[in-house]
């Protein structure tokens, strides 16, 4: 009778460990999915803010213009520096 009780106790323990492992795997999957949603939400909000008319939109526009101007001027400056 005692070995049957030990077997039942061991089976209950194994079931409990299995349930905990499955729950941990599901929780890990939910966390990864939530991280993906957070990344997409941040990209969308950045895009909306960068194209807006507020201060961040204006700063973003000036930064874009600076990068374009820099890309246009660097080849000319290099030619003047190296060849002339």
pLDDT, the chain, mean: 88
Beta-strand ranges (E) seen in 1-84 are: none
DSSP classification of residue 1: -
Considering the domain architecture, whether residues 11 and 34 belong to the same structural domain is answered as yes
Taking alpha carbons only, the member of 12, 35, 15, 13 closest to residue 23 is 15
pLDDT tens digits along 44-78: 888 888 888 888 889 999 999 999 999 999 999 99
Are residues 61 and 43 located together in one domain of the fold? no
Range(s) of the domain holding residue 74: 53-84
Domain shared by 45 and 57, yes or no: no
Q: What is the pLDDT of residue 45?
A: 85
Using a pLDDT cut of 90, give the percent of the chain over it: 54
Quick: pLDDT tens for 19-32: 999 999 999 999 99
């Amino acid at each position: 009778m005692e070995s049957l009780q030990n077997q039942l106790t061991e089976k209950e323990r194994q079931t409990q460990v299995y349930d905990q492992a499955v729950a941990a795997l599901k929780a890990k999957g939910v966390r990864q999915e939530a991280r993906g949603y957070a990344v997409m939400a941040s990209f969308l909000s950045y895009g909306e803010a960068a194209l807006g008319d507020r201060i961040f939109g204006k700063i973003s526009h000036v930064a874009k213009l600076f990068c374009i101007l820099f890309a246009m001027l660097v080849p000319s400056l290099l030619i003047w520096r190296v060849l002339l």
